[in-house]
Amino acid sequence: MITSRRDYLLRLIEEVGRALARITTLRSSHRELDALQSVVSACERLFGMEADKLFQLSPSEHFAMLTENELSEPARERVLLYAALNHEAGLAYKALNNPDMARASFTNALRFARLARIAYGTEDEPDFAPDETTLLEQLKGAPLDDDLVELLRTPT
């Protein structure tokens, strides 16, 4: 049972990783609305939940669902995939001149990238892991919530 669960998680990570590559291509091709729709679909797949329910949950609930309270590489990759999907959404919203949604997406990307690094460390991160310095630059001048400020103070 444990092996089949691990195989399922690895296939899910691979599938969402491929979706992330498609999203990057769509966004780079100036198809931002298609990229955003693909982000939503990838998030639904990653969480196994429809968007209308998924996006009502808090960040702590998202983190718990992604990690299922396990310390493992697949859990870290799921959290970093979610961070990367949020980063892509932020870039798409920025290109669509929607600064509020871009900021919210970049903030979420930074929050989950940081949570993954705090919980699982920084060694051997996958290529899709968002860079915190880049995210902070994209958020330059925007206020950060207290929880995120505290996460940024926490060593990795």
Return per-residue pLDDT of the chain as tens, 156 residues. Answer: 456 766 777 788 889 889 999 999 999 999 999 999 999 999 999 999 999 999 999 999 999 999 986 768 889 999 999 999 999 999 999 999 999 999 999 999 999 999 999 999 999 999 999 999 999 999 999 999 999 999 999 998
Length of the chain: 156
CA angle 141, 142, 147 (to 5 degrees): 130
Total number of domains in the chain: 1
What CA–CA distance (Å, rounded) separates 54 from 50? Answer: 6
Nearest to 22 by CA among 7, 37, 2, 5: 37
Which residue type sits at 69? N
Which tokens is 51 given? 């968007």
* Full residue range of the structural domain in which residue 121 is found: 2-153
Eight-state DSSP code of residue 131: P
pTM of the shown model: 0.93
How many other CB atoms are there within 10 angstroms of residue 41's CB atom? 15
